[in-house]
Structure 1
Amino acid sequence: MRQADKMSDRVEKLMLDLFDIEAVKFGDFTLKSGIQSPIYFDLRVIVSYPVIMLMSAHHDVPMLIRRKEAKDYGTKKMIEGKFEPGSSCLIVEDVVTSGSSVKETAESLESVGLVVTDAVVLLDREQGGKQKLKEAGIALQSICGTSQLLRILRKHEKIPESVAEQVRDFVRNNTFPPSQEPPVKKSRKILSYRERGDLCQHPVAKQLFGIMESKKSNLAVSADLCTTAQILKLADEVGPHICMLKTHVDIINDFSAEFVQSLTELANRHEFLIFEDRKFADIGSTVQHQYRDGLFQIADWAHLINAHSLPGAGVLEGLKQVGLGKQRACLLIAEMSSQGNLATGEYTKATVKMAEEHQDFVVGFISQSQLSDNPAFIHMTPGVQLSGSGDGLGQQYVSPWDAVVTRRADVIIVGRGVYKDPDPATAARSYQTAAFQAYQHRLTN
């Protein structure tokens, strides 16, 4: 028997099997688009029939899974699986109608550096999806189309001719027309740091975007050290490679006004901003004193601070009364990198809303992913290491590529990966290069 005949017989048997397990149904069904259809493909049932399952396991080919949306817990990835940027990926779909689902999957894959040129589908409804995908630069191959399926089912008398004709009429009357525009693969415009800086109203955000552009650095180093000498030494070593130095002032054993003066001089010399990771989280009158007064007088030297949204808008009102006059800015903590944290879901959404209502002072977020399409908001992602993994104390690390390309962070925050390295300057340069290359990929893809 010829190979083509064998293939035809296998397709015919598969279509009959799908009909028998009710993966193909005839009747009156409402599709996702709201259109009433006389035929419905419900291929999710095949998970209960292992003999029908195909592809990855049978051929020992690595598989990736695209989530419908990134989860607000765990890895928060849109694309699950192991892959290398630049690799080609074949999209495998169950049913294609307009091709929109395949295009969305292709865009998600391309956003993490994968190359998509082809897709294969089990059942093509033959309603214009193949042409739509061709216009987007994706070649679609189908195992079976609606017309062939109807011929098979009629041949074996699974459905009457009246039902087959009803489906044919439906397909003819509900086909998506080809675009009148020339074939082109559309992509969303990603603004550069310079362009986003031009859109900013707050001077700190504008300054930060300018530093990131001129130094080709979207790296912030967290100086989680306990003596002023250690911090100043680190700041001088990594200063040429960073856009920002993050401090934890309340763990410093020998804080002094002289330390503030020296750190400020280093920031001016190496052109980076100072971000005090104080995490304000109290009523307005209390945070005012914490920000302005006491031993640390944070508002006098830190360009940026951050705050939890848990106390409500009062925490921002209190901080603003101190910081606005000094041209300081605040980041809201919308998501955290520690395992089991509660900054997720509705809390995160409420935090974004609070930021939108206080854009005179709030310039962005500490987050694990992009939360707002507003180009003036800066997203900073902590918990970044070149190798990923974790620390055994609940900290979960992501790579610079994952943070910037997949999660769309603007700035990566690295602590132990730099200051615990025997050569912090070289380590910082490695992170600077990796993160900025990831940003450039996002910009050009």
Structure 2
Amino acid sequence: MSLESLVVKLYEIEAVKFGNFTLKSGIQSPVYFDLRVIVSYPDVMVEVSEHLWKAVEASKTEFASVCGVPYTALPIATCMSTAHNVPMLIRRKEMKDYGTKKMIEGHFKKGDVCLIVEDVVTSGTSVSETVQTLNNEGIKVKDAVVLLNREQGGEQRLASEGVTLHSVCKISQVLDILEKAKKLDRDTVQRVQDFIASNNTFGNNIKRPADGMGDAQQKKVKKVLTYPERQSQCKHEVLKRLYGIMEEKKTNLCFSGDTTSFAELLEVVEKVGPYICILKTHIDIITDFTAENIHKLKNLASKHNFLLFEDRKFADIGNTVKKQYSEGIYKISEWSDIINAHIIPGPGIIEGLKSAAGEKGLTGKRALLLIAEMSSKGNVATGEYTKACVKMAEENQDFVVGYICQSQLSKDPNFIHMTPGVKLVEGTDSLGQQYLTPKEVITKRNSDIIIVGRGIMNSDDPATTAATYQQAGYDAYLEQCS
């Protein structure tokens, strides 16, 4: 089957679709590729694998094995392996908690070179993750082969990481073939071309040979959605409210009231309240805790329009955290809009906290952040742990609204990113806490909210200092939106 015939066939079985589709990032796209359907068309799957093999042969690439990016590329890699008698490795998306606990299945030795097989490449992230997992086992990766290159920066990103991408077909070719076959009209083709040109994932512009795209190729990428745009697209009531506060008060500042005195906390919050969107507390370090003080804190939150976030960092089994959240002297579920948790116990911790809110009649009015990354030196909240956090969040969007993290983990407006360890000047304290500036956090790490504690609490003038942080953070946000 010729490349032209294969592209038309993929269109006919709806592996290539045109219309309006919401991508994982939340972006509306006029084109969508669903190569998963080819498993129901064995003849097409064989043709796809053969086209990939020919691309590999033409590149003169040398390798000892192939590894398909899970999961869509696994059957394609299997076809290549069996048809050409080349060993295959399988990368797991998550480690088993029993047996050998391997991330890579199959026989290999350190130093082996493996070829990555993928169906579609947009940003190159999935390929990059597979490369990293293989590298962790001592397996080298120099090349990857893909059926469709969306020409949105993935090839450049992989090249920057030392991986050469070989593609059977680029999206510009797909559009050309389908237009000539009278499957697409000129308006649809132009709309997709403009979208691709305006949504590069690696740098501001897509650099490629002229293909009739004209000035659209030079469009700047809008890095982030505005707060109102995110508010209109997100689903959770608490997150909608937070985006509204951020827009109304023009702030992305969360103040961490790290003091052992409730009296001092109330005094400082009265001063900084006008400049913050969230107040973060550590209620269990308070020495003069009373229910009356909680009532006063809620009044301040109402007066100055900010959310309450108890930084409890739940980390136990579901049944235990359920009680820690709703019972005891603190009764956190009754007053804190947002809480956070480690995922070490597994998804049961989310279910336990969620059920506690539900039993109090607070479903939709309480939200959870997952601690995906930390700011302290030498912490182990990285790699597979962080990936597992993202996966659990995506599976629990009715309760999880974002992450405590050091960088952007998702472009979905249903998830917000909050970064601790922020000061006006970078540095490290005596206990290993690493500090970043508001500009670094917002514009370079693409986080959404800066968390500031001692920088404000230890200031001689908390109100003025909070206003300075509020302006720095919001200016960085405006820079992103421009």
Scaled by the length of structure 1, the TM-score of the pair is: 0.62
Q: Does 1:204 pair with 2:224?
A: no
Alignment match, 2:297: 263
Q: Is the 8 A contact 2:397 2:414 kept in 1?
A: no
Q: Per-residue displacement from partner, 1:379-421 (whole Å, max 9, x unpaired)?
A: 0000011101111211001110010011111100000110101
- Tell me, yes or no, if the aligned pair for 2:204 and 2:221 is still in contact at 8 Å: no
Q: Secondary structure at the match of 1:274?
A: strand
Deviation track 1:102-141 (CA, whole Å, cap 9, x = no partner) reads: 9879xxxxxxxxxxxxxxxxxxxxxxxxxx9xxx999x9x
The Cα of 1:311 is off from its aligned counterpart by 0.4
Q: Could you tell me how far 1:376 is from its partner in structure 2? A: 1.3
Distance apart, 1:179 and its partner CA: 3.8
Is the counterpart of residue 236 in structure 1 residue 270 in structure 2?
yes
- CA gap 1:102/1:426 in 2 versus in 1, 3 angstroms: farther
1:254 to 273, 288, 294: 288
Note if 1:443 corresponds to 2:481: yes
C-alpha spacing 1:37/1:441, structure 2 compared with 1 (3 Å): same
Match of 1:185 in 2: 218
Match for residue 414 of structure 2?
376
Q: CA deviation at 1:186?
A: 3.0
Cα drift, residue 184 of structure 1: 4.2
Counterpart-to-counterpart distance in 1, 2:153 and 2:271: 50
In structure 2, the residue matched to 1:352 is: 390
Query: Aligned to 1:332, what secondary structure does the other structure show?
Result: strand
The answer to whether structure 1 residue 280 and structure 2 residue 318 are counterparts is no
Aligned to 2:378: 340
2:443 aligned residue? 405
1:331 to 352, 355, 369: 369
Mark the runs of 5 or more structure 1 residues left unpaired by the alignment: 1-29, 39-67, 73-97, 106-131, 141-174
1:214 to 245, 248, 255: 248
Structure 2 CA distance for partners of 1:100 and 1:303, relative to 1, 3 Å: closer
What SS does the corresponding residue of 2:467 show, helix, strand or coil? Answer: helix
Whether the 8 Å CA contact 1:245–1:274 is kept in 2: the answer is yes
**In structure 1, which of residues 364, 372, 377 is the aligned counterpart of residue 402 of structure 2?**
364
**Count of paired positions:** 300
CA distance in structure 2 between the aligned counterparts of 1:320 and 1:178, rounded to whole angstroms: 51
The alignment partner of 1:182 has SS state of: helix
Q: Offset at 1:373?
A: 1.9
Which letter does structure 2 place at the counterpart of 1:260? I
Cα 1:181/1:422, change in 2 over 3 Å:
same
Q: Given that residues 383 and 398 in structure 1 are in contact (C-alpha distance below 8 angstroms), is that contact kept between their aligned partners in structure 2?
A: yes
Residues 1:100 and 1:304: Cα distance change in structure 2 (over 3 Å): closer
User: Structure 1's 295 and 99: CA in aligned 2 closer, same or farther, altered over 3 A?
Assistant: closer
State whether residues 193 and 212 of structure 1, in contact with CA within 8 Å, keep that contact through their aligned partners in structure 2.
Answer: yes
The answer as to whether partners of 1:137 and 1:183 remain within 8 angstroms in 2 is no
Tell me, yes or no, if the aligned pair for 1:306 and 1:331 is still in contact at 8 Å: yes
Q: Say if 1:100 and 1:287 are closer, same or farther in 2 by CA, change over 3 A.
A: closer
Measured after TM superposition, the shift of residue 183 of structure 1 is 5.5
Q: Deviations over 1:63-86 (max 9, x none)?
A: xxxxx99x99xxxxxxxxxxxxxx
Unaligned runs of 5+ in 2: 1-51, 61-123, 130-150, 159-196, 198-202
Find the counterpart in structure 2 of residue 430 from structure 1.
468
SS at match of 1:368: coil
| Alignment partner, residue 341 of structure 2 | 307
Report the Cα offset of residue 202 of structure 1. 1.1
Aligned residue in 2 for 1:23? none
Partner residue in 2 for 1:320: 354
Cα displacement (A) at 1:195: 1.0
SS in 2 for 1:225: coil
After TM superposition, the score normalised by the length of structure 2 is 0.57
What value does the CA root-mean-square deviation take over the aligned residues?
3.3
